[in-house]
Structure 1
């Protein structure tokens, strides 16, 4: 397994896609955090005041929103590239146990997702600390539930990386996997979750579950408890992983 993981990291680092997506992720996080702080005093904002624990948790939770989509896209590309560039045959001939190959990709991109999450937390910290201090707000990384939020961010981004790999294994087509992820996360889910009549079940969707895991609070939307969000995300990951492994094991490469 270590050999397979080394190979997967070598494939990941062989192009600059991971770097561009990391930079884009950090830029998005910086934008989200800056907008959160800049417009927090607006009476129409949906965010709690930054002087409160809930407001600071929401601010640090933006790190997940900036990272999880692009990490999922990176992971999906990492899986589907095997089929797009027709290297799957060579890969599976070198390692006949196909489940081991998929597992190595899962671990590789899970670690990559955790790294992206930590990088985005660092961006939020670099922006929030001087800005909030200038406003007379005392930010903290050890209180107000911030450590749990940071852990939730890392866990949520890691989960989305796993989902990206599994979706790629399930669909195999790179365009379908990437476009499907973007349409769902940027269009379908935001629309559905804003329909108040559906909130009894939309809280169980991946995005709201990640928000619950990071302990986000909004004035117009309720979420699950953090542990429930973690369980739901884990269930999604296990379910899609099982489907992806099943499809990969029965794939005809001839």
Structure 2
């Protein structure tokens, strides 16, 4: 077995040897599932109730295409669930700093680059796994509710499955970004606080402001959450408050998201990863 495969396998074993990965997966499933159920019912009932008007608008308001509803619902797996692969990726690194298990790791594998590469590979793997878990909640529950409300869930459409594939890709990249953040901010408490503060408060506020200010709209599309939504191709946040200015194409969003993973990982490698850990 090659060194790279041994390192990847070792890092994989470290993650699954704790309960954190499946606890976060269960919490994610419940969070995405409840959010999907609520939004599906609200949008679906209003869509059916007003004869095709936009959800929450009075009769005669702007029209809302029913075919736009399923992608919006299914994208909940990534648009609100991305924080979970981000956290598991960061924890995979910060747990080692916190419990000082990096010392035996580096003694067994003195070349630190391959060790970090193994963590990135597992960040992508578990990010994709969390994407599947999120899709089981958003697509499973959302499609069921839409069907009960006589709205076509569009599961027979190739565009729907392309969106599902892009959700898995986006979540995999979020897992890699989490590894980069954990490497850059090795303090477990510090990295969690930064992740939650940015994803739950700072970026949503910036994206809301970007829906009113043209200059901010041109910049905010390169924020990681906005790039993720562009990669997926649908997002509840885009409907709630679309940003001004041109939007990124899906492949551009993917490149921006991958760029964040590379940037944070390289910065973390240069700063904290190369330091003494004893």
**In structure 1, what is the equivalent of residue 133 of structure 2?**
119
TM-score, length basis structure 1: 0.92
* Contact 1:26-1:119 at 8 Å conserved across structures: yes
* Contact 2:87-2:195 at 8 Å conserved across structures: yes
Q: Which of 19, 40, 43 lines up with 2:56 in the alignment?
A: 43
1:153 Cα shift? 0.9
* Contact 1:168-1:177 at 8 Å conserved across structures: yes
Matching of residue 215 in structure 1 with residue 233 in structure 2: yes
1:250 Cα shift? 2.7
Counterpart CA distance in 1 for 2:78 and 2:90 is 18
1:35 Cα shift? 2.1
1:105 Cα shift? 0.7
Moved more, 70-79 or 121-130: 121-130
**In structure 1, what is the equivalent of residue 51 of structure 2?**
none
TM-score, length basis structure 2: 0.85
1:81 Cα shift? 1.0
Aligned pairs, number? 251
Q: 1:145 to 1:96 in 2, by over 3 A?
A: same
1:48-87 → structure 2 map (5 Å cutoff): 49=64, 51-52=66-67, 54-87=68-101
**In structure 2, what is the equivalent of residue 147 of structure 1?**
161
* Contact 2:77-2:131 at 8 Å conserved across structures: yes
1:252 Cα shift? 2.1
Matching of residue 133 in structure 1 with residue 147 in structure 2: yes
Counterpart CA distance in 1 for 2:269 and 2:155 is 39
Q: 1:249 to 1:178 in 2, by over 3 A?
A: closer
**In structure 2, what is the equivalent of residue 201 of structure 1?**
219
- What stretches of structure 1 of length at least 5 have no aligned partner? none
Matching of residue 6 in structure 1 with residue 9 in structure 2: yes
Matching of residue 241 in structure 1 with residue 255 in structure 2: no
Matching of residue 109 in structure 1 with residue 123 in structure 2: yes
Note the alpha carbon deviations across 1:121-174, whole angstroms, 9 max, x for none: 122222122211121112122416212211221111111111111111111111
- What stretches of structure 2 of length at least 5 have no aligned partner? 47-54
* Contact 2:37-2:145 at 8 Å conserved across structures: no
Q: 1:56 to 1:107 in 2, by over 3 A?
A: same
